[in-house]
């Protein structure tokens, strides 16, 4: 298996070499490895041979081509995982390039050193040094390829989750010649797992709240023993309608996110007059709040932009909706600046604002500054990440500015239409 992988890794690996052409069988392959091992006094090569054995290289899996042990060593260096091989005296005899980057320990520092000292060094970079050290040393004492040990490695650049598993190394005759450790970066998998759990808990909470409301008011309306006057009935029905809209919004957001992830977000751009579009979104949003007044700060010019109007409407609705959600009252300003190539649209509020360290993070999926507030006002942390994908699909940029305690401003750019039909469209506004 690994041999096949190595072949794929390096086409020159199967270089035709008449002297080595004989090494077509499994036995001969290892004969070459052993020979090189003695010739170069390179213990690592001997270990590599055993490592290949451990990977169940068998005569059936051999491709029959010629293998070059030097290239095999290179291939092991370039494995997508870190690899450490240790001899029977517990000294490090092989430390691949990926292990250097992943564990921030150079080969020159590790080679020839007792593995316990190197483990100590690695454990010191983790969030639980004593546990990690004890687990790794115990795993090396009884190598079990089935058992993964996970550790959180912290560096100034990033925090990574590294999984390690130890395996025994045996010679062809079954004699113990050391052990190995495979180090794997599982940060992405763990982040995805955490995101999945967060998604499930947020979404189920956000779905349950409007559903409970809909069920409660519908049950109330259906009660036979109480007669509700017309105003009360209309109030209940209005709440049911609003909560149903909230459910639809959550589901739409989830569907949009899955489309974005699949790279299937459909954007149909057409030259559009921006002013009527903004005006219609603002009119709609005014109906959603009595505590805010929404003003539009419009320049003298009436630019047309090349956009998917439905999607830009969605972005504006989200930004104004957030301005309403995250400011208890006050003015919300929708403004427009016209530049030669782009139009910059902004939405400002006088709300609680956003701490500077979160100004970028709020555009990430599921990120919410303060779980308590968002739980109160509703939301699953997807609106801004969808807005960013939509704006980027328009070759635009979206960003946030804020003074905590005083309010926030979200801005995005849209490409202008610059052709002679401009005049005609303006006339249509």
Count of residues touching ligand ADP (by CB under 6 A): 22
Alpha-carbon dihedral of residues 13, 19, 25, 29, nearest 10 degrees? Answer: -60
What's the helix, strand, coil split of the chain in %, to 5? 50, 20, 30
**Helix intervals (H) in 287-428:** 309-325, 371-377, 383-393, 422-428
If one asks whether residue 408 binds ligand ADP (CB under 6 A), the answer comes out as yes
Of 2 and 384, which CB lies nearer to ligand ADP in the complex structure? 384
Applying the rule CB under 6 A, the residues between 316 and 335 that interact with ligand ADP are 318, 322-323, 326
368 Cβ contact partners less than 8 Å away, ≥ 6 residues apart: 374, 379, 381
Query: Which pair of structure tokens corresponds to residue 114?
Result: 């007792």
Q: Which residue is nearest to ligand ADP (CB)?
A: 379
Query: Which pair of structure tokens corresponds to residue 201?
Result: 């808990």
Of 128 and 251, which CB lies nearer to ligand ADP in the complex structure? 251
User: How many Å apart are CA 359 and CA 408, to the nearest integer?
Assistant: 10
Query: Which pair of structure tokens corresponds to residue 164?
Result: 């390690």
Cβ 412 to ligand ADP shortest distance, Å: 13
The answer to whether residues 221 and 236 touch, using CB atoms and an 8 Å cutoff, is yes
Among 265, 383, 391, 417, binds ligand ADP (CB under 6 A): 383
If one asks whether residue 162 binds ligand ADP (CB under 6 A), the answer comes out as no
Cβ 407 to ligand ADP shortest distance, Å: 8
If one asks whether residue 390 binds ligand ADP (CB under 6 A), the answer comes out as no
Applying the rule CB under 6 A, the residues between 343 and 382 that interact with ligand ADP are 349, 351-352, 354, 362, 367-370, 374, 379-382
Of 198 and 233, which CB lies nearer to ligand ADP in the complex structure? 198
Cβ 182 to ligand ADP shortest distance, Å: 38
Of 240 and 315, which CB lies nearer to ligand ADP in the complex structure? 315
For 352-384, give the DSSP string.
Answer: S---GGGTTGGGSTT--S-HHHHHHH---S-HH
Element (H, E) at 61: none
Cβ 70 to ligand ADP shortest distance, Å: 53
φ, ψ (nearest 5 deg) of residue 22: -65, -25
If one asks whether residue 384 binds ligand ADP (CB under 6 A), the answer comes out as yes
Cβ 33 to ligand ADP shortest distance, Å: 56
Task: List interacting residues with ligand ADP (CB under 6 A).
Answer: 318, 322-323, 326, 349, 351-352, 354, 362, 367-370, 374, 379-385, 408
């Amino acid at each position: 298996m690994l041999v096949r992988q190595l072949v794929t890794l390096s086409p020159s690996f199967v270089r035709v070499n008449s002297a080595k052409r004989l090494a077509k069988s499994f036995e001969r392959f290892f004969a070459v490895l052993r020979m090189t091992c003695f010739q170069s006094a390179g213990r690592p090569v001997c270990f590599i041979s055993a490592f290949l054995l451990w990977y169940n290289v068998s005569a059936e899996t051999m491709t029959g081509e010629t293998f070059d042990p030097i290239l095999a060593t290179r291939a092991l260096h370039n494995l997508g995982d870190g690899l450490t091989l240790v001899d029977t005296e517990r000294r490090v005899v092989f430390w691949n390039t990926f292990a250097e980057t992943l564990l921030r320990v150079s080969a020159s520092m590790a080679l020839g050193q007792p593995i316990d000292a190197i483990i100590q060094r690695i454990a010191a970079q983790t969030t639980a040094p004593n546990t990690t050290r004890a687990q790794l040393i115990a795993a090396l004492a009884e190598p079990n390829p089935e058992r993964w040990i996970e550790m959180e490695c912290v560096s100034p650049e990033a925090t990574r989750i590294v999984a390690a598993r130890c395996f025994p190394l045996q010679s062809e005759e079954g004699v113990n010649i050391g052990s190995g450790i495979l180090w794997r970066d599982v940060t992405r998998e763990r982040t995805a797992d955490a995101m999945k759990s967060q998604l499930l808990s947020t979404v189920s909470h956000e779905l349950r709240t409007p559903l409970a409301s809909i069920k409660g008011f519908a049950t109330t309306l259906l009660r036979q023993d109480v007669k509700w006057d017309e105003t009360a009935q209309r109030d209940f029905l209005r709440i049911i309608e609003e909560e149903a809209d909230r459910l639809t919004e959550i589901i739409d957001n989830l569907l949009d996110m899955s489309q974005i992830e699949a790279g299937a977000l459909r954007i149909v751009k057409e030259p559009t007059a921006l002013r009527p579009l903004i005006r219609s979104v603002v009119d709609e949003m005014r109906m959603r709040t009595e505590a805010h007044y929404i003003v539009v700060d419009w320049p003298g010019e009436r630019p047309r932009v090349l956009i998917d109007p439905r999607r830009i409407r969605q972005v504006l609705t989200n930004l104004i909706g957030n301005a309403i959600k995250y400011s208890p009252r006050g003015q919300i300003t929708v403004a427009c600046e016209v530049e030669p190539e782009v139009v910059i649209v902004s939405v400002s509020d006088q709300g609680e604002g956003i701490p500077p360290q979160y100004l970028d993070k709020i555009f990430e999926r599921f990120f919410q500054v303060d779980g308590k507030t968002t739980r109160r006002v509703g939301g699953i942390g997807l609106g801004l990440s969808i807005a960013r994908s939509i704006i980027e699909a328009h070759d635009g940029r979206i960003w946030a500015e804020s003074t905590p305690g005083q309010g926030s401003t979200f801005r995005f750019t849209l490409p202008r239409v610059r052709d002679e039909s401009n005049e005609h469209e303006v006339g249509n506004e």
